[in-house]
Structure 1
């Protein structure tokens, strides 16, 4: 009977968590789409506004285009946020073990948040790839290939690497015509040249990103490693986000508990708090005495206050990690076929940029556009964190 109750409690919290994450993602997803398109569509000399992006998506894909890729992001966030909070709770459980006050220091929350962010990045990276490419497809003018004549010979390599893709026949014939001027006795030279992978588009470039957005297309053309493209910048982004988020949230949580303890009658145990007007000074005084109140004596905080603290922490964490977010999304919009990756490996191709840029996955050409869309991301992250926390408490209260 005890095991059944424990399993039922776990199921209730799991259902509440999934519902809260889905609701928070759905509420801000149109802004997420606009923010992503600003990041990947801007350049050093080209700065897109939110109004321009919205008009383009509405004209090409309609209002529903703002929700392109929502399913991928919802699944990725359910798994990623679950891994983040699960890892954080496991690590902080070791910190709190043996302490009377059940307290976690801000520095400990920072370290646990960094580790939790790394686990989240590894979990949610493949889903972010499909989300970004679906969002780009909503703002791209995809040509209609139903009326195009598919060549029988030259489509063999394209059909193997990217199903359903029809290459540009004119560009393909023109490129082959430039290459087939060699004096040779081979009768089927044109057809042989067209079967090479780098002739898929006829221009020597990879297919556009809106043609490579399904899992089967990504795996067949780019390989399994493409699922974790931009892992360097994504790992740094989520580690910074997790560390700042949990550290600021723990600081605000502790400050709200101390503020609630001021003026309580009877005074909670082990509290050395004078009724100061400035809450920050009372918090510093607690650090000097290193003797905090026991949270059970103070009682739980109001869910609205906890939700507001989570929203503020999410906005601050988003601002601190936004540059790495831009670098990750821009790298995920690059289509790198397997033969190009293999050539780079054989030639020992080194990443461009300075040492910090190489370690964090930032391309040198993106230096001036790393903070595009930072306001939208702060708003989205703050609202999502607020809705996630508030709806989670609400569902737990109703389900239990």
Structure 2
């Protein structure tokens, strides 16, 4: 009976957690889509504004375009938050071992959050890649005749290397013209050229990101390593985010407990006698901490988004390894995965991410407490 009760409690908490994450993602996904499009669309010209991006998405894919990639985002958040809170609770339990009070210092919450963020980044990076490429598709106008068979001659080799890519017919014809002075002893030179991956687009350039958005297409063209593209900025981003989030949340939580203790008569002798704070207060503390953490880690989020929005075929990655290609920039940029060309764009969309993170943290924590109150028997 005791084991059955424990299993019921675990299932209730798991359902409450998954439901709260889904709700938080649904509420904030349009903001995340606008933030992502501002980040990847940044250029040397005038910065994009949210109203401009919103109008572009609505004119191309309608209001539904704001929810492109919602499924991948939900899966990524569920797995990422499970890793984040699981590692954090494990480390803080180690810190609290042997103490009389169930108490965690702010510095300990910071260190535990940094470790939890690194694990979360590894878990959620592939889902974020799929989500980002789906979001980019929401702002791209695809002509009605852009089906796979409309403008390309599909060969088995092309289909094997890259599913769903549209051949650039004009660029391909231009390439054939440039190669026309070469010897034509080969019985079928055009078909032979199509056997090489770098000729898939007919121009030698990698395909557009919206043509390589499905998991099978990404793996077949870019390889399995592409699923963790942007991992370095993701690890730095999530480590900073979780460190600031948990330390800020713990700081506010301690302040609320002290305020609650002042109003108690007689004064409590330990933290256990104070009792928990209200769910609303905990949700507000989580929302404020989430906004501050998003501001502190936003530049690495931009670097991650711009890195994942780049298609790098497998043959290019192999060439870079053979040539021992090193990423340009200062050592701190190479270590954190920031490309030097992105220096002027690192803080684009910061207000949207702060609002998205704060609102998501508030919604997730609040709905979780509310769900647990109804699902878990007292």
- Pair in the same fold by TM > 0.5: yes
Q: Is the 8 A contact 1:180 1:190 kept in 2?
A: no
- Aligned Cα RMSD in Å? 1.2
Taking the aligned partners of 1:235 and 1:131, their CA distance within structure 2 comes to 18
Shift of 1:184: 4.6
Q: Is the 8 A contact 1:158 1:167 kept in 2?
A: no
Which deviations, in whole Å up to 9, do the C-alpha atoms of 1:361-380 show, x marking residues without a partner? 00001001100000000001
Taking the aligned partners of 1:135 and 1:357, their CA distance within structure 2 comes to 26
Aligned residues: 374
Alignment of 1:25-174 (within 5 A): 25-143=25-143, 144-146=145-147, 148-151=150-153, 155-174=155-174
Instruction: Give the counterpart of 2:315 among 339, 356, 368.
Output: 339
Which deviations, in whole Å up to 9, do the C-alpha atoms of 1:143-177 show, x marking residues without a partner? 3334725326xx34321111232302221121122
Find the counterpart in structure 2 of residue 356 from structure 1: 332
SS at match of 1:351: coil
Find the counterpart in structure 2 of residue 9 from structure 1: 9
Q: What are the ranges of 5 or more consecutive residues in structure 1 without an aligned counterpart?
A: 270-293
TM-score by length of 2: 0.97
Find the counterpart in structure 2 of residue 291 from structure 1: none
Taking the aligned partners of 2:250 and 2:151, their CA distance within structure 1 comes to 62
Taking the aligned partners of 1:322 and 1:137, their CA distance within structure 2 comes to 23
SS at match of 1:201: coil
Q: Is the 8 A contact 2:164 2:217 kept in 1?
A: no
Find the counterpart in structure 2 of residue 313 from structure 1: 289
Shift of 1:191: 2.3
Q: Is the 8 A contact 1:27 1:384 kept in 2?
A: yes
The structure-2 alpha-carbon separation of the partners of 1:299 and 1:149, relative to structure 1 and needing over 3 Å to count, comes to closer
Which deviations, in whole Å up to 9, do the C-alpha atoms of 1:271-327 show, x marking residues without a partner? xxxxxxxxxxxxxxxxxxxxxxx2221111111111100000000000000000000
Q: Is the 8 A contact 1:172 1:194 kept in 2?
A: no
Find the counterpart in structure 1 of residue 361 from structure 2: 385
Which deviations, in whole Å up to 9, do the C-alpha atoms of 1:168-198 show, x marking residues without a partner? 2221121122023123522322321232211
Find the counterpart in structure 1 of residue 196 from structure 2: 196
Taking the aligned partners of 1:380 and 1:331, their CA distance within structure 2 comes to 21
SS at match of 2:98: coil
Find the counterpart in structure 2 of residue 290 from structure 1: none
Q: Is the 8 A contact 2:114 2:239 kept in 1?
A: yes
Taking the aligned partners of 2:278 and 2:222, their CA distance within structure 1 comes to 49
SS at match of 2:333: helix
User: 4+ runs of 1 displaced by more than 3 Å?
Assistant: none
SS at match of 2:233: helix
The structure-2 alpha-carbon separation of the partners of 1:122 and 1:149, relative to structure 1 and needing over 3 Å to count, comes to closer
Structure showing greater radius of gyration is: 1
Q: Is the 8 A contact 1:318 1:377 kept in 2?
A: yes
TM-score by length of 1: 0.91
SS at match of 2:202: coil
Q: Is the 8 A contact 2:151 2:167 kept in 1?
A: no
The structure-2 alpha-carbon separation of the partners of 1:149 and 1:92, relative to structure 1 and needing over 3 Å to count, comes to closer
The structure-2 alpha-carbon separation of the partners of 1:358 and 1:149, relative to structure 1 and needing over 3 Å to count, comes to closer
Which deviations, in whole Å up to 9, do the C-alpha atoms of 1:38-60 show, x marking residues without a partner? 00001132411111111111111
Taking the aligned partners of 1:372 and 1:151, their CA distance within structure 2 comes to 40
SS at match of 1:11: helix
Q: What are the ranges of 5 or more consecutive residues in structure 2 without an aligned counterpart?
A: none
